[in-house]
Amino acid sequence: MGVNIAARLEALAEPGGICVSGAVQDQIGTKLPIEFIDLGPQQVKNITQPIKAYRISGETSPSTIRSEVLLYRCPRSHR
């Protein structure tokens, strides 16, 4: 189900941008220096319930996000 939601939210993203679900935003929380813009509930194709969606702020580049996620997930011994 998560892959389907991600594919649907991709259509909401601006070119080169990233949109995530409320579940993803909840998981990230304040663990990473990412600013989220609340898009509210979004009705997407083939998903019955509206999905809470967030756009990642344009000031946070996708490459920065990848770097931050890798640092967060990588054990300290490998940094």
List pLDDT tens digits, range 26-61: 988 888 888 889 999 999 888 889 999 999 886 665
Residue predicted with more confidence, 69 or 77: 69
CATH number (domain holding residue 61): 3.30.70.1230
* pTM recorded for the entire structure: 0.71
Per-residue pLDDT, 41: 95
Number of domains in the chain: 1
Per-residue pLDDT, 62: 59
- Domain holding 66, by residue range, is 2-78
Per-residue pLDDT, 40: 94
- DSSP letters, the chain, are -HHHHHHHHHTTSPTT--EEEHHHHHHHTTSS---EEEEEEE--TT-SS-EEEEEEPTTS-HHHHHHHHHHHHS-GGG-
